[in-house]
Amino acid sequence: MAEWPTWAAILLCYTGWLLLGGLLYPAHPVLALAGMAVMVAFHSSLQHEAIHGHPTPSALCNELLVGLSLGLAYPYRRYRTTHLLHHRDETLTDPHGDPESYYWDRESWSQLGRARRLLLTANNTVLGRLLLGPLVGSLRFFLHDLRHIRAGDRTIRLAWAIHALSVLAVAAIVTRGFHMPFWLYALGPAYAGNALIGLRSYCEHQWHETPDGRTIIVERSLLSLLFLYNNLHVVHHARPGEPWFRMPGLYAQDRAGWQARNRGYVYRGYRTIIRRYFLRPKEPLLHPVSPGGPRP
């Protein structure tokens, strides 16, 4: 079975999460909470794989496999919709065309208050992305969808209804199965797991005149497996249908070619990114060429 590594990863993720919460938490709560945060991040990486058709070609089957919201913040169906829009490389980083862009156009930025500008600027550092990113990102996502729900969008409303049931299921497992306060899970493993994913996406894309030059390569990291090799991000954007376990081989076959393709937007590891941008933004939040208009 060609997709057996993904099946194995899904089994490992859920088994690890359950064992950490059910067995380790009563004896070693801090260690269990840290381990569960890693599982939440790993589960998010698996959701990303499912969106791209792994381990099965069925969107519904993949949703049933990884749709449980261990990270609490985002409805899986909404993540699937917005992430596939993000894969239109010609609009990558455009605040009006890329749902995952952190950039702002000048008109929208000028309408923000000072406090919000300071918050977003802090969120544009590595430290800010780790501490504030999960809150800023999930709140922005929720408010965006709330406007559409109020306007009568039934598809988005259904996605959030399914998400609410998923969160209730996770809450039941956490409180009754793990005997853990739900607030502790939400502020501990769920928040920290989303922060880990925020480190991966921190500078995943930058503005460049060519679409291929907008997507990063992070060559080596202990976090690569946790991110299911999404650190080789230009390879994923060029070959989005390929499963995670083929990414290192594809990159190794033509390392120089991939680096030329993304115009040298390459980091040796996440340690370099953390060291350089821990307390300072990598670049301004204003998009260099996006026209003015309402923020999506």
Instruction: Give residue-wise pLDDT tens across range 75-99.
Output: 999 999 999 999 999 999 999 999 9
- Percentage of the chain beyond pLDDT 90 is 95
Residue 276 lies in a domain: no
Is the pLDDT reported for residue 294 higher than 50? no
pTM metric for this prediction: 0.94
Residue 260 lies in a domain: no
Q: Confidence band (pLDDT; 50, 70, 90) for 2?
A: confident
Tokens at 7, concatenated? 């099946």
Output the pLDDT for position 29. Answer: 98
Instruction: Give residue-wise pLDDT tens across range 184-227.
Output: 999 999 999 999 999 999 999 999 999 999 999 999 899 999 99
Please state, in angstroms and rounded to a whole number, the distance separating the CA atoms of residues 191 and 197.
10
Range of the domain at 154: 3-201
What is the 3 state secondary structure string of the chain? CCCHHHHHHHHHHHHHHHHHHHHHHHHCHHHHHHHHHHHHHHHHHHHHHHHCCCCCCCHHHHHHHHCCCCCCCCCHHHHHHHHHHHCCHHHCCCCCCCCCCCCECHHHHHCCCHHHHHHHHHCCCHHHHHHCHHHHHHHHHHHHHHHHHHCCCHHHHHHHHHHHHHHHHHHHHHHHHCCCCHHHHHHHHHHHHHHHHHHHHCCCECCCCCHHHHECEECCCCCCCCCCCCCCHHHHHHCCCCCHHHHHHHHHHCHHHHHHHCCCCEECCHHHHHHHHCCCCCCCCECCCCCCCCCC
36 in Cβ contact with 188 (< 8 Å): yes
pLDDT mean across residues, the chain: 95
Tokens at 52, concatenated? 């791209």
Residue 206 lies in a domain: no
Is the pLDDT reported for residue 20 higher than 60? yes
Is cis: bond before 291, omega within 30 of 0?
A: no
Domain count, the chain: 1
Instruction: Give residue-wise pLDDT tens across range 60-71.
Output: 999 999 999 999
Residue 142 lies in a domain: yes
Instruction: Give residue-wise pLDDT tens across range 97-149.
Output: 999 999 999 999 999 999 999 999 999 999 999 999 999 999 999 999 999 99
Residue 158 lies in a domain: yes
Output the pLDDT for position 292. Answer: 57
- Percentage of the chain beyond pLDDT 70 is 97
Output the pLDDT for position 289. Answer: 85
Residue 270 lies in a domain: no
Residue 111 lies in a domain: yes
Average pLDDT rounded to a whole number, residues 254-273: 96
Q: Confidence band (pLDDT; 50, 70, 90) for 295?
A: very low
Residue with tokens 């501490």: 131
